[in-house]
Amino acid sequence: MKLQNYATGKWITGDGSGQELYNAINGEVVAIASSQGLDFAEMCRYAREVGGPKLRKMTFHERGRMLRALALHLMSKKDLFYKISWATGATRSDSWVDIEGGIGNLFAYASLRRQFPDEIYAVEGEAARLSKENTFIGHHICVPKEGVAIHINAFNFPVWGMLEKVAVNWLAGVPAIVKPATATSFLTEAVVREIIASGILPEGALQLICGSANTLLDHVQNQDVVTFTGSASTGKKLKSHPRLIEESVPFNMEADSLNCCILGTDVTPDQPEFDIFIKEVVREITTKAGQKCTAVRRIIVPENRIEEVRVALAKRLSQTIIGDPNVEGVRMGSLAGITQRNEVMEKVELLSKTQKMIIGDFEKFEVKGADKNKGAFMPPVIFLNENPFVNTDCHNIEAFGPVSTLMPYKSTEDAIKLAKMGKGSLVSSIITADGKLAREYVIGAASMHGRILVLNSECAKESTGHGSPMPMLVHGGPGRAGGGEEMGGKRGVFHYLQRTAIQGSPTMLTSVTNQYQYGAKYIEKGIHPFRQYFEDLEVGETVITDTHTVKESDIIDFANLSGDKFYAHMDPSALEGTVFKRTVAHGYFILSRAAGLFVDPPKGPVLLNYGIDECRFTKPIYPGMSIGVRFTCKEKIENDKPLKATNDTEVKTGIVKWVVDVYDASPQDVRDALGVDGATGDTVAIATILTMVKLKNQ
């Protein structure tokens, strides 16, 4: 079967004989890949001019819903992907991580849409006040880059490697060209076929190159983003490409690294943490036959536990059945191909020069249901390095397979030093029941690791494990690991957005951002906003309420009702040395009374109060002072799902955010009598409340 590339809106078979791709289990040819004849410049142009504009017209919420629909579609086709994944040497559990883990990233980023506005751009952070009278302010707006995300991926995760990246750039509004590693591209091609066939993505949002892409980077421009996952040596070559430097193209590198797992000095063999440690290390050695950029390469153990750990590892690894993943009982498949196995064997030979192999036999290991001479099989290998501060090959040479090195340490300080000798890793883990020890290790080792897992009996059951990056957390690491970041929730999306500082008056920036900026002109319609449907409300629409004079009885009644009898509200004799001149009203009373001022009671389009954000009490209110409210529509977000009403009907709704600006409405003579600083109109409390509002068009 000759694989096809998907370029400029059509499936294209590459010219020439192409590269033969092999079944990792039996050595048979499963596909031929070729990209010869593809016009890479045209592919880039097509992504920028066809896919990009369509994605940028969609809001974050629309793009998120697109991701969810795609995830549901791919889940319905997962059995097909599992069948094909077998030929990569993966067991069912290996494939689960790759296939359903990758689809899970689509679900995760679909849900992330709720953290963005229902707009084609994002407003980041708080406004900066740039002038004394607040007539000139600044803010940051983030818009999608007008280029293409080029993803160059590794062979070990042909599905997850693609989906964990494209989920992020699609949510940001940027199209992608995916170049999977050729060796396992037959699985990536099958997934892309289903993506394209679904019709869920706008045309131009995704293109695929199954063969070589040697000249692809010659065509990048400054609005593009390039990501790479693979070996550090290849990554360095790509990173120094003249075109990337000339065009200042962001390059994100996630390289294989010498990750480590630490057994804490507090753990003894009779503790559950000891078994957790052994299970975690064995899982990382055998999952995907050790072909994970996050796999444990260095096993760092207190010197008095080396023998106990060696025995436990040997016992557990001896129970690992290697063979054809389709055969019952097999727990470890093959490497992805003979080429990968030969590369691992070369590294094993280098490591053997400075340390002793204590587990593993390349001649005597058994393979169930397959011919080990035809498939890319190899047994788990454990080295012992008794002097890891002197014999340092284990900190510099990575065998990208089921290979790891066991080494001793004396103190947590030594463990930290050994962990750092990897010169930058994607992940480290420590198994300990001691919180102080965990803190010492995490703080000491964090500068050289992108992620640190602290594992003990409290979280082991639900922990996703040492080797599992999570969509909402950063995946990457410093130094040898590449110095990049992938995923990371909102952080990842911002890699594909251009952050631009904008300056102007609050009213003008309200118009630009479609979010109310404090100090902007109010829109007063003469109708209470609670009387209006979601579609009719305008950002900046404001009601100025009546005022209320706070009495001593208000404070006492609220204290009795709430149970909050803090001295500053109740005991005038206790105020000496405090910031208060007399008993002060509760902040929550001020906010509650403000609600009584701005709420319009009769039944109408407003259905419920959804929450409160960013609440601050900025000035004290004493008995005799008055308050009023400036109540302003800040932002509108339409809900995805209708609300179920009590009569079983569905009601379409949106969330409206309101600025509740409670101000000092005290007459000047009252202020003078009470010795209150400031001026009438000063804000005394401010918050953002959220209401659920009915849509007019049901």
**Active site amino acids:** 254, 293
Residue 178 CB neighbour total at 10 angstroms = 25
Dist. CA 487–CA 634, nearest whole Å: 30
> Between helices 160-172 and 92-111, what is the axis angle to 10°?
10
| CA atoms within a 13 Å half-sphere pointing along the CA-CB vector of 314 | 13
d(CA 77, CA 86): 15
Tell me the C-alpha distance between 284 and 385, whole Å: 19
Radius of gyration of the chain (CA): 31
How many Cβ atoms sit within 10 Å of the Cβ of residue 339? 13
- Asked if residues 646 and 675 have their Cβ atoms less than 8 Å apart, the reply is no
Quote the tokens at residue 424.
Answer: 């930058």
Specify the residue for token string 């500068």. 447
Strand-pair partners of 693: 606, 654
Beta pairing class for 259-263 and 296-302: parallel
| Spatial CA neighbour of 164 closest among 641, 486, 449, 473 | 486
Q: 194: buried, middle or exposed (CB in 10 Å: 19+, 13-18, 0-12)?
A: middle
Number of Cβ within 10 Å of residue 575's Cβ equals 15
Contacts of residue 554, defined as CB under 8 A and 6 or more positions apart, other chains included, come to 585, 589, 593, 623
One-letter amino acid for residue 606 of the chain = V
Give the 3-state secondary structure of residue 229: strand
Contact 666, 678 (CB under 8 A): no
3-state secondary structure 447-502: HHECCEEEECCCCCCCCCCCCCCCCCCEECCCHHHCCCCEECCHHHHHCCEEEEEE
Q: How many CA atoms lie within 13 A of 237 on its CB side?
A: 6
Report the alpha-carbon distance of residue 209 to residue 216 in Å, rounded.
10
Q: Is 15 helix (H, G, I), strand (E, B) or coil?
A: coil
Q: Which residues pair with 222 in a beta bridge?
A: none
How many helical (H) and strand (E) elements, i.e. helices and strands, does the chain have?
20, 29
User: How far apart are alpha carbons 378 and 45 in whole angstroms?
Assistant: 44
Contacts of 373 (CB under 8 A, 6+ apart): none
Give whole-number Cα distances, 683 to 153, 539, 585, 629, 691, in Å: 54, 20, 15, 9, 22
d(CA 94, CA 76): 19
- Residue 598 contacts by C-beta under 8 Å, 6 or more apart in sequence? 543, 545, 629, 631, 660
CA angle 349, 350, 355 (to 5 degrees): 90
CA atoms within 13 A on the CB side of 412: 19
Long-range pairs for 521-526: beta carbons < 8 A, 24 or more residues apart: 522/630, 522/632
Identity of residue 276: I
CA distance 172 to 166: 10
